[in-house]
Structure 1
């Protein structure tokens, strides 16, 4: 019975990881890119589009995003500097409100006949909820050549509770930079 406990824990851990709403969309290194050729990095301006409110909360989350990225790069042996970095970090943020829909069809949602002679039934998309989807696009730029050497894109559903957002940002950056 004790042997089942670690196996059950491992299964639950894997099932929880599979349910994550964060996914790495794309990572694309430049030819001959090696992170070991670089020692320092710095952040450039952050671009944002979509339904992002320009508020204090937004700025605090951008700072949290920078901290999550910095943690991942420091773990890979780089250090952050303010002047003359080897790599410049360019970050793009997009947040869009999406509508979740479901399709009605004849097999699962049969129409009810009410006695009208001109009754017709069509399959259609029915909105069932709204959610916000965030996309983060990270570019690493070689500052000496002014050339992009790596690009990574991660996206996910933004939680409604602000307290969970930083945890999701950390998880997303960990997934993204594990592919670096």
Structure 2
């Protein structure tokens, strides 16, 4: 009985953690970059006017800005609209992606062979379709107009709005930890 419970518990944990999306991050700083040298920041104006943009896009951009502002404020910067030290530029790309797998004669055998000249060939089979997103963050020294730090976070985009917000929070936390290193 205990063994069955342990196996069930293990499978539940694998399912919960196996379904959570993975967020990949990368960053690069200019030589001599030190965030503590800056006191204020502001965002570049965003312009999203293409026809393929969904209704929730602006809301999600606001979530991203809120989370970036939170991360920068935790590191001692203050948001301002009057001559900021740093400007934050955002790049957001969301694309439809298809995950496939290749068929195998051992796992996907033919069910019926009706003629002698039958040949079997490997094919790509669609496993799932999803949206993949990348958020690029560029910190620009306003006075010199130079890029001083850039980072990107990418992963599969959640379908539910509340899950997207949580995913943005986790992604920005992970990305901005790289600025501290």
TM-score by length of 2: 0.83
TM-score by length of 1: 0.83
5+ residue gaps, structure 1? 1-11
- How many Å separate the matches in 1 of 2:166 and 2:51? 21
Aligned to 2:150: 151
In the superposition, relative to structure 1, how do residues 148 and 23 fare at CA in structure 2: closer, same or farther (>3 Å)?
A: same
Alignment length, in residue pairs? 167
- Any idea what SS the aligned residue of 1:45 has? coil
In the superposition, relative to structure 1, how do residues 112 and 170 fare at CA in structure 2: closer, same or farther (>3 Å)?
A: same
Q: Which runs of 4+ in 1 moved over 4 A?
A: 15-20, 47-52
Q: Which stretch has the larger CA shift, 114-123 or 77-86? A: 114-123
Q: Is the 8 A contact 1:47 1:91 kept in 2?
A: no
- 1:1-180 matches, within 5 Å, as 20-46=20-46, 53-55=53-55, 57-180=56-179
Q: Is the 8 A contact 1:49 1:94 kept in 2?
A: no
- Any idea what SS the aligned residue of 1:91 has? strand
- How many Å separate the matches in 2 of 1:20 and 1:76? 28
Q: Is the 8 A contact 2:90 2:135 kept in 1?
A: yes
More strand by share: 1
**Considering only aligned residues, what root-mean-square deviation do their CA atoms show, in Å?**
2.5
5+ residue gaps, structure 2? 1-11
- How many Å separate the matches in 2 of 1:52 and 1:157? 19
In the superposition, relative to structure 1, how do residues 29 and 16 fare at CA in structure 2: closer, same or farther (>3 Å)?
A: farther
